[in-house]
């Protein structure tokens, strides 16, 4: 179906009890950033309107921790950390922030919507792959030569899937739940991948301005060639902050599982190798 085709969306929710709106245009770089807004904001509105008309009993809207606030003092962010549109870096985050506001607006009007905010899911079946999965593939291919002073909250993708089901069963209408697990610096992620694979972790930490210059050149080439850059300016700008968050609310209220992140990374590396994402060595 097509999120921007009302008839297609209406058919998808007809006779359905619970709607999980997971679909989104997840790109940190796009030739036309308005595409992200049309799909992520307009598509969300279309799904929620159709769900309301169909009389569903619950909607779980998949947002992202990228739409949440990050405290300046280094403390992990929560669902309640203050945030506004001007805090959003790049068109993807901006579109997801606005889409989340649409979802919460529908909840305020009476539609039974629960919002989940996954962090960086890791594990098998990362077909595209996601930016986090691409980082793991780059490590396995020996292309992860250096790191930046940044960090992520990693979570096993299986726990994210379970978190969606738990949100449908136990989530409070109009509430947000961070589906995350462990906060790790990029250096720490490299060390874990090294321990799992036996490969050497990156030893060099590059300055922010070097990464910025490289991304600028890659984006210029991308606009000429039409292929996405390996590293986008948005990704570099995002890296200036450690994307650390607390899943305590989801663990407490939903019973979100906390599978060891090492297992998630092991599952991801095994899947990428088994499915041809890594060159034979």
C-alpha 180/C-alpha 135 separation (Å) is 18
Does residue 22 sit within a domain?
yes
Tell me how long the chain is: 281
Does residue 1 sit within a domain?
no
Does residue 280 sit within a domain?
no
69-122 pLDDT per residue, tens: 999 888 999 999 999 999 999 999 999 999 999 999 999 999 999 999 999 999
> The tokens of 43 are what?
């598509």
pLDDT of residue 196: 98
> The tokens of 271 are what?
């899947």
Domain region containing 81:
6-274
> The tokens of 150 are what?
């940044």
145, 202 in Cβ contact below 8 A? yes
Is this model's pTM higher than 0.85 or not?
Answer: yes
C-alpha 209/C-alpha 239 separation (Å) is 12
Could you check whether the bond before residue 129 is cis, i.e. omega within 30 degrees of 0? yes
- Low-confidence stretches of the chain (pLDDT < 50) are none
Please give the tally of structural domains in the chain.
Answer: 1
Does residue 263 sit within a domain?
yes
Burial letters 231-269, b for 16+ CB under 10 A, else e: bbbbbbbbbebbbbbbbebbbeebebbebebeebbbbbb
pLDDT of residue 72: 86
235-256 pLDDT per residue, tens: 888 888 899 999 999 999 999 9
C-alpha 13/C-alpha 41 separation (Å) is 18
Does residue 281 sit within a domain?
no
- 3-state class (DSSP) for residue 245: strand
Question: Backbone phi, then psi, for 77, in 5-degree steps?
Answer: -70, 155
pLDDT of residue 27: 86
pLDDT of residue 281: 61
Does residue 279 sit within a domain?
no
Residue 28's domain is classified under what CATH number? 3.40.50.720
255, HSE (Cβ side, Cα atoms, 13 Å): 6
Does residue 157 sit within a domain?
yes
| CA-based torsion, 90, 93, 98, 101: positive or negative | negative
Does residue 85 sit within a domain?
yes
């Amino acid at each position: 179906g097509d999120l921007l085709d009302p008839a297609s969306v209406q058919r998808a929710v007809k006779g359905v009890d619970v709607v999980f709106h997971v679909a989104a245009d997840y790109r940190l770089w796009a030739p036309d950033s308005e595409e992200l807004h049309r799909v992520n904001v307009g598509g969300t509105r279309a799904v929620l309107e159709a769900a309301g008309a169909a009389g569903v009993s619950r909607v779980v809207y998949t947002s992202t921790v990228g739409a949440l606030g990050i405290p300046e003092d280094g403390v992990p962010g929560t669902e309640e950390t203050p945030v506004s549109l001007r805090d959003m870096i790049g068109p993807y985050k901006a579109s997801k922030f606005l889409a989340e506001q649409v979802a919460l607006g529908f909840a305020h009007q009476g539609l039974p919507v629960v919002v989940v905010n996954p962090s960086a899911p890791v594990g098998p079946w990362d077909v595209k792959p996601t930016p986090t999965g691409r980082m793991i593939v780059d490590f396995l291919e020996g292309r992860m030569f250096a790191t930046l002073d940044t960090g992520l909250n990693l979570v096993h993708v299986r726990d994210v899937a379970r978190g969606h089901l738990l949100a449908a069963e136990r989530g409070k209408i109009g509430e947000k739940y961070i589906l995350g697990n462990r906060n790790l610096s990029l250096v720490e992620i490299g060390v874990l991948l090294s321990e799992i694979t036996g490969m050497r972790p990156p030893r060099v930490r590059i300055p922010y301005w070097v990464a910025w210059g490289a991304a600028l050149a890659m984006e210029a080439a991308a606009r000429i060639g039409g292929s996405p850059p390996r590293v986008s300016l948005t990704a570099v700008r995002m890296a200036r902050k450690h994307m650390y968050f607390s899943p305590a609310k989801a663990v407490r209220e939903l019973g979100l599982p906390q599978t060891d992140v090492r297992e998630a990374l092991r599952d991801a590396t095994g899947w990428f190798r088994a499915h041809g994402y890594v060159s034979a060595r």
